[in-house]
Structure 1
Amino acid sequence: MADRRCRHLVLVLGDQLDAAGPALRDLDPTRDRVWMCEAVEESTHVPSHKARILLFLSAMRHFREALETAGVSVHYRALDAEADPSLAAGLAAAIRVLRPERLILTEPGEHRVLSALQGVAEASAVPLEIRPDAHFICSRTEFDRWAAGRKGLRLEHFYRHLRKREGILMEGPSDAAQPVGGQWNLDQENRKSFGRQGPGMVPEPIGFPSDVITRDLIAVIERRFPDAPGNLERFDWPVTAAQARAALADFIRNRLAAFGPWQDAMWTGEPYLYHARISAALNLKLLDPRTAIDAAISAFEANQAPLASVEGFVRQILGWREYVRGIYWREGPVYLESNALEAHRPLPNFYWTGKTDYACLEASIGQVLEYGYGHHIQRLMVTGLFVLLLGVAPREVHSWYLAMFVDAVEWVEAPNVIGMSQYADGGLLASKPYVATGQYINRMSNYCRHCRYDPKEAVGESACPFTTLYWDFLDRHRDRFANHPRTALQWRNLARLEPERLGAIRRQAEVLRGDLASGGNG
């Protein structure tokens, strides 16, 4: 169809692939156009994993195909057709051609994108209507009302608020409803390790072979981004709404029951274990969170999954996912510059290559390079823990996570990294820094069995870098945390170390940091 002036130009971003989304709800195919753009900048402003690039672009092209099949005109700028370098440039070009009366946009998931598109609209003198994102259960306005006047913005309080409001996993009369089973949080039942025997046979999650659209994009990405990290050999993520629903059904049927007890466990060669593998589909809006929550609750009501597994899954979506989105927008762009612990060291080079003799990091980073995926404990207590103990600049850590994971969208990734993983916001999100010695990794995985370092040792040639850096971290930050109610025990243990041993730990930590800064161990 030839370009012509349109009434509304509806902007659909790569993480807004919901046919029932707010921006599309009153679209008139006879007068309106949809704009989509594969901008080079979106794959390069952080050096994105090839699988992340492919997931976004393949899902976008499948969504375009679905819209056009439904009779919607789509003004689409493809990467292999000399796409504009940025979303802003792409939108400005479309406005010049289509001369729309109005731009319509669902709230983006990133400050940078929102600012860029607003700038184009203002410069072009075209009104921009931004609609609240109905994909989320809690609006930004409601989160701000909940947060107003609170001394701390704790997840548990927010989670209970939404459970009550939505009546999810609640029982009894509405004015006196209580959590099903009598407890709000069943985390204590969900922290098992596999022990020495391992997980045994784990049901393989459903995968989705590449079709013509995806195969064409693989060739484009290998040509346009040859030096991007990661590879595409394992790519089998859902790229359509139908595939996302199939992935959810597969998880509910085959892995939800075991998800709870072993959600924190890790095992070499098992990238997914009992995890859902639907976070990317949720974040691209291929799957509605209410659908996922309802499916899990239906499994519980049919006695197909225990309450602890279902509650743990629901808390990740209804609680954590909604909570970090509220934090991201409430705090604004300045949140990304948070650095409460004054960490300024560079990210070790092996985070981009996976080449290190630290077995847990080699396994976890190698898995990310291969699949574009790692589950929450690999992120928090392996890759995140190491750079927290080392003292890496939080902005560098944030950029790595945003680049390397297929489910990374800034609204969800930044609070998880800046707040939860790195404690860079000074305790706004997490009540304490999540720090541990290598003994935690040894307990929750088999990584240490394949490592030359001993998780019990902090000094000497066989000392585990996690354990050395853990005690050094406590020493460096004792003034901040020694009297903290949730960390006092750890710092009391530090006080029990003999001065000579603590001195040896300090020296070993300094040598380790110097070696890593000069490119060692990778």
Structure 2
Amino acid sequence: MKTVRLLLGDQLNYEHSWYGKTNDEVVYFMAEMKQETNYVKHHIQKVVAFFKSMRSFSDWLKSENHQVIYYQLDDEKNQHDLVENLKQLIKDHNIEKFEYQLPDEYRLDEQLNDFCKKIDIETEAVDTEHFLTSRTDFVAFFKGKKQMVMEYFYRDMRKKYDIMMISDKNPEGGKWNFDQSNRKKWKGSPEIPPEKNIKNSVAEIHKMIQKAEIKTIGSIDVANFPWPTNRKDSLQLLDYFCEELLVHFGDYQDAMHTEERFLFHSRLSFAMNSKMLHPKEVIETVVSFWRSNKEMIDISQVEGFVRQILGWREYMRGMYWKEMPNYRTLNKLNNTNSLPEFFWTGNTKMNCLKHAITQSLENAYAHHIQRLMITGNFALLTQMHPDEVDAWYLGIYIDAIEWVEITNTRGMSQFADGGLVATKPYVSSGSYINKMSNYCKDCVYKISKKETEDACPFNSLYWNFLDEKREHFKDNQRMNMMMSLLNKMDKTKLEALKNRAQAIIANPDDY
């Protein structure tokens, strides 16, 4: 039976069972489509990375003697719409069966479900064989529970996959979570090894994107593209993380510094989210390396990494499939303001935001604390509409695919889901930023001041936010202490803080 198998840009799983044997009746189809480049304005490095990785995967399939039809961006047959491309392909090649791997984005899942209902040939959807949980495991685990707490989900995953366990119930090291050990400020020591040198050339792809007039954000070095775009490079980056960075990863995973973009972070998220690396192989590689080097590497370094993948990553995907499509419309705090222009330029006097945003524009990357407690914190404190915040995060980061982006942004960062993901909003004054970074040292604003013109904007924005949203938090036990302090604050002082905050919110690009 003549069969076409669709592969999406984030389905580059070299280990999938589909590829175990060849079949002359099966052809794989991949396409670089404006449907995918234009639904949000993406970082140029993100578009290039996906196209380069897709082409590498197509080449690998061909080297394994599989038949492949690949539409580049400028292919005359490419209609830049998934359904239209498939319809024409089925017609032109007398296809009798359509197969696809289940998409990880709801919009594509809907599109393909609808397509299959309308065509008159046999269809079949299979798993991507990537995640450690199914779409429905999350719902089953939390059935009957009042809150969907990630920690309990994470512990269950540790037990289920026997990862860092000494018995069926007891974790290695005597604790499930070493988060308290993962909050050190990096002050120039220990030395950070030089970045892993990948340096792919992507000039041809970049030129094609420009010619097609795809609108993008950010910058790119086309001669020295630093991201892995095939499985070999991805595995080398994983090995590099183990050998050079793991020893200090946990300690400094929350740290931020003006002179260091990546610190001890792995930069594996794109390789994983495009499925070039499997989460279980990443976890097993890291844990195995730690076991062989326990005299050098503390358990806290490893557990913090495992928790991000085995716990948080799978948890967020489960939340996504449980709550979509309603999740993308949630705005429980009723925030309505627009993103300031400096989110697209980095041109702001606030040093923390300047560095976090400029780094994002230059590298399509910022680590989780920069996203959560710098840009996300500011967006929430200035009460920006979660639709705009979502679009920015989805576009600017190379690893941002909706299943992982929207739950982290709309849920944890912006508290727009009202507490499904996070039990309290992740907001802070400037003190937290000062504690975890050197951003405040050379800032024109003073971290020690509150409501004066030279005061750190985060200080007044924080108290203004609590006051403006007090009805939302009055019954939140985790907010009791801060709400109590707010209620005891001198009214004149609070008014001065609010006046300062309102001026910032009205004209954020002036600050």
TM-score band by shorter chain is over 0.9
Q: CA deviation at 1:220?
A: 1.4
The code of the aligned residue for 1:178 comes to N
- 8 Å CA contact retained: 1:162, 1:319: yes
- 8 Å CA contact retained: 1:482, 1:492: no
Cα displacement string for residues 105-154 of structure 1 (whole angstroms, at most 9, x for unaligned residues): 11111011111222233333233311123211111232221122221111
> Which residue does the alignment assign to 2:195?
205
The code of the aligned residue for 1:271 comes to R
The code of the aligned residue for 2:204 comes to D
Residue 406 (1) aligns with residue 398 (2): yes
Residue 69 (1) aligns with residue 63 (2): yes
Q: CA deviation at 1:458?
A: 2.5
| Counterpart selection for 2:127 from 115, 122, 132 | 132
More divergent stretch after superposition (422-431 vs 500-509): 500-509
The code of the aligned residue for 1:71 comes to N
Cα displacement string for residues 1-34 of structure 1 (whole angstroms, at most 9, x for unaligned residues): xxxxx62211100000012325x25664310100
Q: 1:83-482 maps to which residues of 2 (within 5 A)?
A: 83-172=78-167, 174=168, 177-194=169-186, 197-199=187-189, 201-211=191-201, 214-225=202-213, 227-233=215-221, 235-302=225-292, 303=294, 304-482=296-474
The code of the aligned residue for 1:288 comes to H
- 8 Å CA contact retained: 2:13, 2:128: no
Percent of aligned pairs sharing the same letter: 38
Q: 1:478-517 maps to which residues of 2 (within 5 A)?
A: 478-516=470-508
The code of the aligned residue for 1:50 comes to I
d(CA) in 2 for partners of 1:122 and 1:74?
25
Size of the alignment, in residue pairs?
Answer: 506
Residue 41 (1) aligns with residue 29 (2): no
The code of the aligned residue for 1:151 comes to K
Q: CA deviation at 1:178?
A: 0.3
- 8 Å CA contact retained: 2:41, 2:216: yes
d(CA) in 2 for partners of 1:226 and 1:60?
18
d(CA) in 2 for partners of 1:151 and 1:130?
33
More divergent stretch after superposition (97-106 vs 311-320): 97-106
| Counterpart selection for 1:8 from 3, 6, 14 | 3
Cα displacement string for residues 443-487 of structure 1 (whole angstroms, at most 9, x for unaligned residues): 111111121111232311112111111010010112222342211
What SS does structure 2 have at the residue aligned with 1:513?
Answer: helix
- 8 Å CA contact retained: 1:91, 1:120: no
1:123/1:520 CA distance change after superposition, 3 Å: farther
The code of the aligned residue for 1:36 comes to M
> Which residue does the alignment assign to 1:3?
none
Q: CA deviation at 1:95?
A: 2.0
What SS does structure 2 have at the residue aligned with 1:170?
Answer: coil
What SS does structure 1 have at the residue aligned with 2:507?
Answer: helix
d(CA) in 2 for partners of 1:123 and 1:480?
45
d(CA) in 2 for partners of 1:139 and 1:133?
10
More divergent stretch after superposition (106-115 vs 221-230): 221-230
Q: CA deviation at 1:375?
A: 0.3
Cα displacement string for residues 368-426 of structure 1 (whole angstroms, at most 9, x for unaligned residues): 10000000000000011100111111111111111000011111111000111011111
d(CA) in 1 for partners of 2:225 and 2:345?
19
d(CA) in 1 for partners of 2:178 and 2:82?
43
d(CA) in 2 for partners of 1:225 and 1:54?
14
d(CA) in 1 for partners of 2:289 and 2:488?
49
d(CA) in 2 for partners of 1:459 and 1:400?
29
d(CA) in 1 for partners of 2:376 and 2:351?
15
What SS does structure 1 have at the residue aligned with 2:173?
Answer: helix
- 8 Å CA contact retained: 1:190, 1:264: yes
- 8 Å CA contact retained: 2:102, 2:127: yes
1:86/1:458 CA distance change after superposition, 3 Å: farther
The code of the aligned residue for 1:231 comes to S
Cα displacement string for residues 61-119 of structure 1 (whole angstroms, at most 9, x for unaligned residues): 00000011111111111102243222222222222212322211111110111112222
TM-score, normalized by length of structure 2? 0.96
d(CA) in 2 for partners of 1:232 and 1:497?
48
1:183/1:266 CA distance change after superposition, 3 Å: same
d(CA) in 2 for partners of 1:237 and 1:123?
39
Q: CA deviation at 1:227?
A: 4.4
Q: CA deviation at 1:366?
A: 0.3
d(CA) in 2 for partners of 1:7 and 1:496?
73
- 8 Å CA contact retained: 2:248, 2:264: yes
TM-score, normalized by length of structure 1? 0.94
d(CA) in 2 for partners of 1:275 and 1:411?
22
Q: CA deviation at 1:299?
A: 2.0
d(CA) in 2 for partners of 1:410 and 1:462?
38
d(CA) in 1 for partners of 2:138 and 2:97?
29
Q: CA deviation at 1:353?
A: 1.3
d(CA) in 1 for partners of 2:45 and 2:326?
29
Cα displacement string for residues 181-234 of structure 1 (whole angstroms, at most 9, x for unaligned residues): 11000000111112xx434531123131224xx331122123334641111126
Mind listing any 5+ residue stretches in structure 1 that lack a counterpart?
A: 1-5
What SS does structure 2 have at the residue aligned with 1:128?
Answer: strand
The code of the aligned residue for 1:505 comes to L
d(CA) in 1 for partners of 2:20 and 2:157?
29
- 8 Å CA contact retained: 1:419, 1:429: yes
What SS does structure 2 have at the residue aligned with 1:152?
Answer: coil
More divergent stretch after superposition (131-140 vs 382-391): 131-140
More divergent stretch after superposition (129-138 vs 307-316): 129-138
d(CA) in 1 for partners of 2:189 and 2:79?
47
- 8 Å CA contact retained: 2:333, 2:472: no
